[in-house]
Amino acid sequence: AKGNGKNQVVLFDDSQQERVNRRFVVENELRDAIERDEMRLFFQPIVNDQQVVVGMEGLIRWQHPARGLVPPNEFIPIAEQGGLILAIGRWVLDRACEMLVEWKSDHERQRWTLSVNVSARQFNEPNFIEYLRSLLRRFDFPPERLCIELTETALLNSIDGDLQDKIAALKKQGVKLALDDFGTGYSSLSYLKRLPLNKLKIDQSFVRTLLNDRKDQGITAAVLSMATFLDLEVVAEGVETIEQFNYLRSLGCGAFQGYLFGRPAPIDTFLSNQISCA
Ligand code: C2E
Ligand code: CA
Ligand code: CA
Ligand code: CA
């Protein structure tokens, strides 16, 4: 490891240089990606305890002309650092709202809630609330059908008073709020008491090992019982097997997301999957 001679040091420098280069390339390409219409919003179903679709989460991909479909983990962090996340985040919210408008007259779809991920950087923009307000005004649909997913990091990085005000303003607009990846960050339980959240999303790392890990069972059961007292809806993420689904349901979980019910897919695929299920 460290202090192992010159080679190690040189190797480290190389890979770091490479990383910087790649970041630079990706960042430059990202800058034009929206104008070139290379961003795609995929959708993954969220179901209730009867496995009926109640909503979906929008998940971004980058349809790169040479590299194919690039997953968000490969460009969202870069976009966050360079500030491009603001443009990307707006594109995502625009697309989401457009779709909700399209479904306004559809009997079944007008009950679905659409969740979108909002990054810390975007949420902490001073005019995020204003932006959202004008967006909701522009598209005329019930705001409670839009759910904003924030990670604990997003909450952690905001200034305390500011955060309370922001979340209160969101609530006033009627938009739903979910705490994403719950249990993986550093936020304290006092957040759950102070902030008027609507949902918790149990991170898939707990669900993955749920059936053979007593600790995960304990944590999951505790989160679900706590949520009842706090009037929070709980969504279990990363549900891949019927056993996981049944176990979570027996603990009182009411909403589920995972490959068992559908993978993230383009909207047309998403909709035809729903039809073939009905
Ligand atoms: P996330 O918000 O926690 O999204 C859930 C991730 O779990 C998605 O990965 C989804 O494809 C994956 N997943 C869903 N069901 C299963 C399952 O049963 N098994 C397994 N192994 N995985 C499952 P994805 O689409 O690659 O997104 C990764 C992360 O990128 C998201 O995590 C989110 O933090 C971020 N992201 C995605 N779209 C956006 C976006 O529009 N804006 C922002 N700011 N971040 C986004
Ligand atoms: Ca999410
Ligand atoms: Ca998550
Ligand atoms: Ca995650």
Ligand 2 centroid to residue 180 C-alpha, Å: 5
ipTM of the complex as predicted = 0.97
Tens of pLDDT, residues 105-115: 888 888 899 99
Ligand 1 atom closest to Cα of residue 119? 44
* Of 49-58, 134-143, 180-189, 224-233, minimum mean pLDDT range: 180-189
CB-proximal residues (5 Å) to ion ligand 4: 181
Residues forming a β-bridge with 122 = none
Ligand 4 centroid to residue 184 C-alpha, Å: 9
* Of 120-134, 158-172, 200-214, 249-263, minimum mean pLDDT range: 158-172
The closest residue, in CA terms, to atom 25 on ligand 1 is: 59
- Top pLDDT among 9 and 174 is at 174
Distance CA(133)–CA(175), nearest Å, equals: 10
- Residue 154 is predicted with a pLDDT of 77
Ligand 3 centroid to residue 257 C-alpha, Å: 10
Ligand 2 centroid to residue 274 C-alpha, Å: 21
Ligand 1 atom closest to Cα of residue 92? 41
* Of 2-11, 136-145, 264-273, minimum mean pLDDT range: 2-11
Is any atom of ligand 1 closer than 6 Å to the C-beta of 262? no
Average pLDDT score over residue span 202-219? 95
Amino acid identity of residue 60, one-letter, is: I
Our mutation pick for probing the ligand 1 site, out of 30, 40, 56, 59, counting the most ligand atoms within 8 A of Cβ, is 59
Average pLDDT score over residue span 124-145? 89
Average pLDDT score over residue span 43-58? 96
DSSP 196: -
- Residue 144 is predicted with a pLDDT of 92
Ligand 2 centroid to residue 10 C-alpha, Å: 39
Average pLDDT score over residue span 136-144? 88
Is any atom of ligand 1 closer than 6 Å to the C-beta of 59? yes
Q: Are 178 and 149 in contact (CB under 8 A)?
A: yes
Is any atom of ligand 1 closer than 6 Å to the C-beta of 258? yes
Under 8 Å CB-to-CB from 32, ≥6 apart: which residues?
A: none
Ligand 1 atom closest to Cα of residue 122? 44
Distance CA(175)–CA(185), nearest Å, equals: 23
On average, the pLDDT of the chain sits at 88
Q: Where would I find the beta strands (DSSP E) of 17-88?
A: 39-48, 53-64, 68-70
Residue 3 has pLDDT above 50, yes or no: no
> Could you tell me the pLDDT band of residue 2, with boundaries at 50, 70 and 90?
very low
Distance CA(278)–CA(274), nearest Å, equals: 6
Cα angle value 234/238/244 (rounded, 5°): 80
Is any atom of ligand 1 closer than 6 Å to the C-beta of 129? no
- The pTM is what? 0.91
Residue percentage of the chain with pLDDT more than 90: 61
Helix axes of 128-138 and 160-173: crossing angle, nearest 10 degrees = 10
The closest residue, in CA terms, to atom 41 on ligand 1 is: 60
Ligand 1 centroid to residue 8 C-alpha, Å: 35
The alpha-helical segments, DSSP class H, found in 139-256 are: 152-156, 160-173, 190-194, 204-208, 214-230, 242-250
Tens of pLDDT, residues 61-93: 999 999 999 999 999 999 998 889 999 999 999
Residue 192 has pLDDT above 90, yes or no: no
